[in-house]
Chains A and B, each alone.
Chain A
Amino acid sequence: MDKKTTDQIHYLILKTHSLTGVIPVGAFLVLHFSINSLRTVGVWPYQISIDIINNLPFLIWIEAGFIIAPLMFHSLVGFYIYFSGRSNPFRYNYPHNWMYTLQRLSGAVVFAFLIYHLATTVVPKLWYGNTQFEAAPYLIYVMNQEFKSWDGRIIYAIGIVAATFHFSSGLWGFCISWGILIGRRAQTNAGYIFALFGLVLTVMGLSTVVEFSLHPVGVEATEPG
């Protein structure tokens, strides 16, 4: 392969940023919210799904390669994009200009939230090592703690809303920048569909928070089915 010019590298990095936002980062968000919302159906489906995930082969590689690395890449390039523009929604007060501003802000909010989220879940898990804990009881214990106070509930609600907004609005932007949605009407119609999609994700995420807050569960070791 020829040596790439800085222009080609720039293009590839920004395209990859756009792509990683959908796959795998966005796809993981949907999966994450879907599995967590099983908690609203019952403790057992939630536990068993956690156990299945935690017993996947090569889990650490899946987590590192398909979640952490793309997420870090998307965040780093995201901050570069954040600082490359200067939003002006007060001067040019149009809906899409506000979406542009919110897209950048929500990205930064999600990033801050993820630091908190990882610090309270994954970091202790890695710290105490895989041998000393069972995934489901440990996670349920952590979540019970998180949702005991209004502080935790509000932090999670903000994180969830910022993430679902960033993803659904980002999907719309993705479809335009890759040339899937071209016509003005196509862009508007798809906008409504993505808004509905974002709303569904938000309800899924928030209902999990509500369930954990209203009905904290006693932590027990998982029984293999």
Chain B
Amino acid sequence: MKGNIVNEKTVKLKIKRQDKPNSKIYWQEFKIPYKERLNVIACLQDIQRNPTTQLGESVNPVTWDCNCLEETCGSCTMLINGKVRQACTALIDSLEQPVILEPMSKFPVVRDLQVDRSRMFENLKKVKAWVEIDGTHDIGEGPIMSDKVRSQRYALSECMSCGCCLEACPQFSLTNNFLGAATFSQVRLFNLHPSGSMLKEERLDAVMGEGGITDCGNAQVCVEVCPKSIPLTESIADIGRQTTLQTLKNIFMK
């Protein structure tokens, strides 16, 4: 048997599973052969090829979402060893084993690690997170944006709606209607745009209610977990300022 050394190093994964929305939650453990520079997605693909638990039981393959595999789309967001992050950039070499995988807890589970994050999209619609350019006639070119504003907006535009900030937020829950850091940051992004600012009052109005800016508890976990390092707490404070000024305007200038 000389020269035929079997690499017995393995990766242990413990996965929280759920067959369909609102069905029973159960846990399964998997053991897969170790390879160098594995990420969590590669492990899940390995399990998909051979869906057998550590105990040798043949099971349904684990379901998860992923797309870009370079931390740009946000779709593989899940809880890895208890903390929210993207599975594509979660490298096995830097994780404690068994690697515990759970779906995000603040969004409804579709199946296994796959969740429905459409609430984030609905929130973006609520605050009109776009620049309105449609009309009955050509409205021409927009005003020039300074380099300072442009770079400020670039940082905010990196948001990929992954939901990390919402998952980690103590004020955001499955049952309430809190808009959350990502949404407030998008309000700031579009209010900073010279043409986008035409909808400024409507956007501010949308965050000045139940689930709005007043419901932020300033725990600042959002900014800590944001994979794109977006200055979310600055956005929240800035929306705080914009809504304060809007309130004064509503009281004394209308």
Contacts and interface: CB of A to CB of B under 8 A. Distances in A.
**B and A form one assembly:** yes
A92 B225 contact: yes
Interface residues of B, number: 36
A178 B238 CA distance: 9
Nearest to B209: A7
Interface string A175-186: 011111111100
A131 interface: no
Interface string B179-190: 000000000000
A177 B214 contact: yes
B169 to A, nearest CB: 9
Contacts of B233: 176, 184, 187
A90 to B, nearest CB: 9
5 contacts: A7-B209, A10-B212, A84-B176, A85-B170, A178-B240
B93 interface: no
A179 B242 CA distance: 7
B217 interface: yes
A180 B234 CA distance: 11
- The CB with the most chain A CB atoms within 10 A, among B173, B176, B219, B244, is that of B219
B216 A177 contact: yes
Interface stretch (A26-34, A94-102, A142-150): A94-102
A216 interface: no
A8 interface: yes
Contacts of A81: 217
B237 A91 contact: no
Given A10-B209, A179-B241, A88 B170 contact: yes
B224 A94 contact: yes
- The CB with the most chain A CB atoms within 10 A, among B212, B216, B221, is that of B221
A182 B242 CA distance: 11
Contacts of A187: 233, 237
Contact size range, A: 35 or more
Given A10-B210, A92-B224, A176-B240, 20 more contacts: A8-B208, A10-B214, A18-B214, A84-B215, A87-B170, A88-B221, A97-B170, A97-B221, A100-B218, A173-B218, A177-B214, A177-B216, A179-B241, A179-B242, A180-B241, A182-B234, A183-B234, A184-B231, A184-B234, A187-B233
Nearest to B239: A179
Contacts of A55: none
B218 A176 contact: yes
Given A8-B209, A94-B224, A96-B221, A176 B168 contact: no
Given A85-B171, A91-B82, A187-B233, A14 B240 contact: no
- The CB with the most chain B CB atoms within 10 A, among A5, A91, A99, A103, is that of A91
Contacts of B168: 88, 92
Interface string B216-250: 11111100110000010110111111111101000
A97 B210 CA distance: 22
B83 interface: yes
A86 interface: yes
Nearest to B245: A179
- The CB with the most chain A CB atoms within 10 A, among B82, B83, B218, B245, is that of B218
Contacts of B244: 178-179
A14 B173 CA distance: 19
Contact of A177 (B173, B218, B242): B218
A187 B245 CA distance: 20
Contacts of A182: 234, 237-238, 241
A165 to B, nearest CB: 15
Contacts of A97: 170, 219-221, 224
A179 B240 contact: yes
Contacts of A179: 237-245
Nearest to B212: A11
Interface in B65-85: 82-83
A14 B220 CA distance: 19
